[in-house]
Structure 1
Amino acid sequence: MTGFLFELSFLLAAPVWLLMIFAPAWGPTARIAGSPLTVLPVLFVYVALAVPVFPELWTAVSSPDLGSFRELTALPDGAGAVWAQVIAWDLLIGQWMYREGRRLEVSALLMGPLLVLTVLLSPFGLLVFLGVRAMKAWRAGARPSTGGPVPGQARR
């Protein structure tokens, strides 16, 4: 059962990732990616895996040290629970990146690979996206806005 739940945690998140990567401009994608409820199924899997190892989980989070974390992840349900938690948080990060990318008009040709990187190695994907985001903000600030007068130019 643990192996099934381990695999299920990603399978429940995969449709949202696929929409954000392969159908970013489709109307329902924005609504789906805008909802934090997408992680609920994955969190239910987390709970199913975490409850049987709750004493070990509590020890690992209330008095964190490498040994207690190793003990938790040595248990099949413990490793599965940690995996489901990672899947849920990665999905939330990916959804935020998707929404920010759309807001900043980052090309889907760039966002797609960034989201794939985030699925696989979320800290790296997030770091690269934060760099892209900072560059977009810098470029937007470096150019005069089109909604008002150019600085130093008199209004008519």
Structure 2
Amino acid sequence: MTGFLFELTFLLAAPVWLLMIFAPAWRITERVAASPLTVLPLLVVWAVLAAPVAPELWTAVSSPDIDTFRDLVALANGAGAIWAQVIAWDLLLGQWMYREARRLAVPPLLMGPLLILTILLSPLGLPLFLVVRAVWSSRAPRRRTEPALP
């Protein structure tokens, strides 16, 4: 059961990622990516995986050190729960990146690879996106704050 839930975790997130990467201009993609509810199924999987290892999980997060964390991820449910948590937060991060890119009109051909990198290694995808975001923000036309003259 744990192996199935581990696999299910990514399968639940994949449709949102696929929409953001391959159909970024669809109205449904924008609605889906704007919703934080996309992670709820992942958090349900997390809860099912975390419940049997709740004491170990609590020890690992309330008094963190490498040995207690190693003990947690040595348990199948512990590793699965950490995986579900990572997938959920990466998805939220990817949704934010997608929305920012749309707001700034970053080309989908640039964002697609950045989103794929974020799926695989978000600690690399996020800083690269922040650079892209800074470049595109500096290119955006300045909005006037004073009223226009008649």
- TM-score relative to the length of structure 2: 0.94
Instruction: Tell me the distance in 2 between the aligned counterparts of 1:66 and 1:101.
Output: 36
Instruction: Tell me the distance in 2 between the aligned counterparts of 1:38 and 1:136.
Output: 27
In structure 2, the residue corresponding to 1:121 is in which secondary structure? helix
Alignment match, 2:63: 63
Alignment match, 1:126: 126
Counterparts of 1:40-51 in structure 2, within 5 Å, are 40-51=40-51
Deviations 1:15-52 (A, max 9, x none): 00000000000110000000000000000000000000
Instruction: Tell me the distance in 2 between the aligned counterparts of 1:97 and 1:45.
Output: 24
Instruction: Tell me the distance in 2 between the aligned counterparts of 1:137 and 1:102.
Output: 12
Deviations 1:94-128 (A, max 9, x none): 00000000000000000011000001101110110
In the alignment of these two chains, the number of paired residues is 147
What amino acid maps onto 1:83 in structure 2? W
Q: In terms of Rg, which structure is larger?
A: 1
What amino acid maps onto 1:99 in structure 2? R
The alpha-carbon deviation at position 139 of structure 1 amounts to 2.8
Counting aligned pairs with the same residue, the percent is 72
Q: CA RMSD in A?
A: 1.5
Any stretches of 5+ residues in structure 2 without a counterpart? none
Instruction: Tell me the distance in 2 between the aligned counterparts of 1:86 and 1:39.
Output: 11
Instruction: Tell me the distance in 2 between the aligned counterparts of 1:67 and 1:121.
Output: 24
Instruction: Tell me the distance in 1 between the aligned counterparts of 2:6 and 2:59.
Output: 22
| 2:11 is the alignment partner of 1:17 | no
Instruction: Tell me the distance in 2 between the aligned counterparts of 1:8 and 1:76.
Output: 14
Alignment match, 1:137: 137
Instruction: Tell me the distance in 1 between the aligned counterparts of 2:103 and 2:4.
Output: 37
Counterparts of 1:1-156 in structure 2, within 5 Å, are 1-140=1-140, 145=142
Instruction: Tell me the distance in 1 between the aligned counterparts of 2:107 and 2:138.
Output: 17
Instruction: Tell me the distance in 1 between the aligned counterparts of 2:23 and 2:79.
Output: 32
Q: Following TM superposition, where does structure 1 have runs of at least 4 consecutive aligned residues deviating by more than 2 angstroms?
A: none
Instruction: Tell me the distance in 1 between the aligned counterparts of 2:80 and 2:29.
Output: 28
Deviations 1:51-87 (A, max 9, x none): 0000000000000000000000000000000000000
- TM-score relative to the length of structure 1: 0.90
